[in-house]
C-alpha cells in the first residue's frame, strides 16, 4: 500500500500526459472526420457514376480492413516501401499519421450514417423549399441539416464513444497515448518497473471520458426533441 | 388578358406519356378545378407549373410572358428559373411543413432568406425582418391561426398544418396558387376548415388552380373545370358544362361514381 501511494503521483502524472494525447487524437479525428464524412457522403451519392463509384470503393476498402492495419500502412508505407519517411520518427510524426488514419477511417463510417440521415428526409422537404424559391444550398442548411442532425445523433453517439476507445489502437505505431503510458511502467520508467496496475488504471480515464460524453450527447438529443 | 396560358404541354416519364397536349387558360381571379381519376396526371400537371418537373414540350405563359418553352428552356439561367417559379405557389397534399420551425417561422423563412440578397438588407435589416414578420402574423391571422403561431407542426392538427402551408405559400405573393388535393390527407371533419379558407381566398380574388376530389366544392367555387383522363384534357368548361352536361361518356362515368356515394 505504501509503495502504491508513493508511486501514485508519478503514475498519474504520466497517465495524464498520455491521456492528453488520447484526447488530442479524439478531437482531431472528430474535427476532421465530420466534414470529410459529409464530403464522402455527397460523393458516394453523386449522380455521376464515376464519382459515386470512386467513393464507394474507398468506403468499401476502409470499412473492410482493420483500422490497425490502416495505421500500420499509413505510418510505415512511405518510409519502408517508398523510402520517403514523410512522418519522421518523432511523436509529432506519429500523431500526424495516427490522425490521418483515424480521420479517413471514421469519415467513411460517418459518411454512411450521414447518407442514412439525409435519405431518410422526405423529398417533400426539398420540394417545399424549391417551390418557395429557396436554393438547394439554402434548403440543405436551413431545412434539412437540423433534421439530419436529429436523425444521426443516436448512431453518431455510438461511433463517438467507440472512437474514444479506438484511439488506443494508435499504440501499434507507438503513439504515446494513455495505454502506452500505463504500459511503460511494466517495462520500467521513472524508477517504477514491473507494475501492471497503471495499465489497468487507464480504464478509469476512458470510463470518465465516455461518461461525460454520454451526458453531453444525451442532453443534445433532448434539446432536439422540440420537433418531430 | 390571360394570367396563365398553357399550350400543348406534354410530359413523359421514360416511355409513358403522362401529359398529352394539355391546353387551357385562366383569367386573373379565376379558379380552375382539375378533377379526374387516380393516375390521370393531375399532380404531374401542377408539378410542371411549379417547375418540379420539366415538361418535354409546350409553352407556359404568365401574364403573356413566357416562363417555360420546351424549345428554349435550356437557355434559362438559374435565377431566371427561380423568378419564373415564383409566379406560382403550391400547397401539397401532405403539407410538407418544416418540422423544426414554428408556424410563423414556416411562413417567414423563405422570405427572410430571399431578403438577405436584397441590396439594402444590411442597412435596413431590422425594418425588413420586422415587415416580413408582421406580414406573416397577418397571414396566419387570416387563416384563423393567431393562437397557434408559435407552435410546431407536430403540435398542430392536419387542418391547422394545411392552413399554415397555405399561409406559407401566400407569403411569397404568387400570381397563381396551386393546390394538390389539399384536403385528401385530412380527417373528414377537418376538410371543412381548409375549404373555408380557400373559399375566402376566392372572395379576395386570388387566382387558383385546385386539384380536388371534393366535387361539391369544385362545382361551387370554380369558374372553370378540367376533367383529365389518362393524360388528356377530356372536358374543359364552366362547372355547369362539365358537371351537369358532360360531353364525354368517360366523364359521366367518373361523375356517376361521386353521385352514387
Ligand atoms: N416520377 C415519376 N416517374 C414515373 N412515373 C411517374 C412519376 N410521377 C408520376 N408518374 C406516373 O404518372 C401518372 C400520373 O401520375 P399523377 O401523380 O400525376 O396522377 P394523379 O392524377 O395526380 O393521381 P392521384 O389522383 O392518384 O393523385 C401515373 O401513372 C404515375 O404512375
Ligand atoms: Mg395526385
Q: What ipTM did this prediction achieve?
A: 0.94
| CA–CA min distance A126, chain B (Å) | 9
List chain A residues with CB under 8 Å of B89: 131
Closest by CA position to A120, among listed A89, A97, A152, A142 = A152
- B210 Cβ neighbours under 8 A, 6+ residues apart: B31, B32, B33, B34, B178, B179, B182, B198, B218, B221, B222
- Grid coordinates belonging to B13: 416519364
Cell numbers 369558374 correspond to what residue?
B223
CB-CB neighbours of A45 under 10 Å = 16
Q: Which residue of A has its CA nearest to B168?
A: A132
Per residue of chain B (261 residues), give pLDDT as tens: 899 999 999 999 999 999 999 999 999 999 999 999 999 999 999 999 999 999 999 999 999 999 999 888 777 777 788 888 899 999 999 999 999 999 999 999 999 999 998 888 889 999 999 999 999 999 999 999 999 999 999 999 999 999 999 999 999 999 999 999 999 999 999 999 999 999 999 999 999 999 999 999 999 999 999 999 999 999 999 999 999 999 999 999 999 887 655
CA distance B131 to B129: 5
- A169 Cβ neighbours under 8 A, 6+ residues apart: A67, A68, A71
Confidence at residue A51, expressed as pLDDT on a 0 to 100 scale: 97
SS3 A95: helix
Q: Is B89 within 8 Å of chain A by CB?
A: yes
- Grid coordinates belonging to A24: 488530442
- The per-residue DSSP string of B154-169 comes to GGS-HHHHHHHHHHHH
Say which range, A16-20, A54-58, A87-91, B45-49, has the weakest mean pLDDT. Answer: A87-91
Domains, chain A, ordered by start: 7-227 (1.10.3720.10)
Confidence at residue A4, expressed as pLDDT on a 0 to 100 scale: 81
CA distance B146 to A63: 52
B45 CA closest ligand 1 atom index? 18
Strand partners, B62: B4, B65
Section A83-95 average pLDDT:
89
Of A132, A134, A228, the CB nearest to B99: A228
- Per-residue pLDDT tens for A137-161? 999 999 999 999 999 999 999 999 9
Q: Is A129 within 8 Å of chain B by CB?
A: yes
- Per-residue pLDDT tens for A38-70? 999 999 999 999 999 999 999 999 999 999 999
Write down the mean pLDDT value for chain A.
Answer: 94
List chain A residues with CB under 8 Å of B100: 146-147, 150, 226-227
Confidence at residue B72, expressed as pLDDT on a 0 to 100 scale: 82
Q: Which residue of B has its CA nearest to A123?
A: B96
CB B90 within 8 A of CB B178: yes
Confidence at residue B257, expressed as pLDDT on a 0 to 100 scale: 83
| Ligand 1 midpoint to CA B19 (Å) | 10
Q: Which of B46, B85, B113 best tests the A interface by mutation, with the highest count of A CBs <10 A?
A: B113
Confidence at residue B258, expressed as pLDDT on a 0 to 100 scale: 79
Please name which ligand lies nearest the alpha carbon of B47.
1
Give the residue, by CA position, lying nearest to ligand 1 atom 18: B41
Q: Inter-chain contact A142–B90, Cβ cutoff 8 Å?
A: no
- A39 Cβ neighbours under 8 A, 6+ residues apart: A107, A111
- Per-residue pLDDT tens for A158-212? 999 999 999 999 999 989 999 999 999 988 888 888 888 999 999 999 999 999 9
Predicted structure pTM score: 0.89
Amino acid at each position: 500500500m505504501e509503495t502504491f501511494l508513493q508511486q501514485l503521483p508519478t503514475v498519474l502524472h504520466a497517465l495524464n500526459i498520455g491521456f492528453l494525447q488520447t484526447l488530442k487524437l479524439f478531437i482531431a479525428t472528430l474535427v476532421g472526420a465530420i466534414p470529410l464524412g459529409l464530403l464522402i457522403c455527397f460523393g458516394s451519392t453523386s449522380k455521376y457514376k464515376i464519382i459515386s463509384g470512386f467513393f464507394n470503393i474507398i468506403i468499401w476498402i476502409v470499412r473492410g480492413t482493420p483500422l490497425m492495419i490502416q495505421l500500420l500502412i499509413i505510418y510505415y508505407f512511405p518510409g519502408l516501401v517508398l523510402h520517403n519517411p514523410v512522418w519522421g520518427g518523432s511523436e509529432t510524426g506519429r500523431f500526424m499519421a495516427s490522425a490521418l488514419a483515424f480521420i479517413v477511417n471514421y469519415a467513411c463510417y460517418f459518411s454512411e450514417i450521414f447518407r442514412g440521415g439525409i435519405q431518410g428526409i422526405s423529398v417533400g422537404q426539398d420540394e417545399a423549399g424549391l417551390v418557395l424559391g429557396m436554393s438547394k444550398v439554402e434548403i440543405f442548411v436551413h431545412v434539412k441539416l437540423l433534421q439530419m442532425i436529429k436523425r444521426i445523433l443516436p448512431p453518431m453517439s455510438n461511433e463517438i464513444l467507440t472512437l474514444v476507445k479506438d484511439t488506443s489502437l494508435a499504440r501499434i505505431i507507438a503513439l504515446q497515448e494513455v495505454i502506452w503510458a500505463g504500459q511503460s511502467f511494466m517495462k520500467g520508467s521513472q524508477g517504477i518497473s514491473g507494475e501492471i496496475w497503471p495499465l489497468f488504471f487507464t480504464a478509469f480515464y476512458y470510463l470518465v471520458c465516455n461518461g461525460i460524453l454520454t451526458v453531453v450527447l444525451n442532453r443534445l438529443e433532448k434539446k432536439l426533441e422540440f420537433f418531430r | 388578358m390571360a394570367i396563365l396560358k398553357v399550350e400543348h404541354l406534354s410530359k413523359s416519364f421514360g416511355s409513358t406519356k403522362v401529359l398529352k397536349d394539355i391546353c387551357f387558360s385562366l383569367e386573373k381571379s379565376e379558379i380552375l378545378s382539375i378533377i379526374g381519376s387516380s393516375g390521370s396526371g393531375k399532380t404531374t400537371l401542377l408539378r410542371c407549373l411549379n417547375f418540379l418537373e420539366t415538361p418535354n414540350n409546350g409553352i407556359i405563359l404568365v401574364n403573356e410572358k413566357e416562363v417555360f418553352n420546351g424549345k428554349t428552356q435550356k437557355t434559362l439561367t438559374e435565377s431566371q428559373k427561380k423568378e419564373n417559379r415564383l409566379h406560382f405557389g403550391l400547397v401539397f397534399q401532405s403539407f410538407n411543413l418544416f418540422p423544426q420551425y414554428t408556424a410563423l417561422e414556416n411562413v417567414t423563412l423563405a422570405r427572410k432568406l430571399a431578403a438577405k440578397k436584397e441590396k439594402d438588407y444590411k442597412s435596413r435589416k431590422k425594418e425588413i425582418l420586422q415587415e416580413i414578420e408582421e406580414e406573416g402574423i397577418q397571414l396566419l391571422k387570416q387563416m384563423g391561426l393567431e393562437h397557434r403561431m408559435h407552435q410546431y407542426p407536430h403540435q398542430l392538427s392536419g387542418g391547422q398544418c394545411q392552413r399554415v402551408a397555405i399561409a406559407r405559400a401566400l407569403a411569397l405573393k404568387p400570381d397563381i396558387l396551386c393546390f394538390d388535393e389539399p384536403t385528401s390527407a385530412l380527417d373528414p371533419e377537418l376538410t371543412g376548415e381548409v375549404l373555408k379558407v380557400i373559399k375566402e381566398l376566392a372572395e379576395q380574388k386570388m387566382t387558383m388552380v385546385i386539384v380536388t376530389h371534393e366535387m361539391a366544392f369544385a362545382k361551387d367555387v370554380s369558374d372553370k373545370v378540367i376533367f383529365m383522363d389518362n393524360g388528356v384534357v377530356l372536358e374543359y368548361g364552366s362547372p355547369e358544362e362539365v358537371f351537369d352536361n358532360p360531353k364525354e361518356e368517360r366523364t359521366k362515368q367518373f361523375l356517376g361514381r361521386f353521385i352514387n356515394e
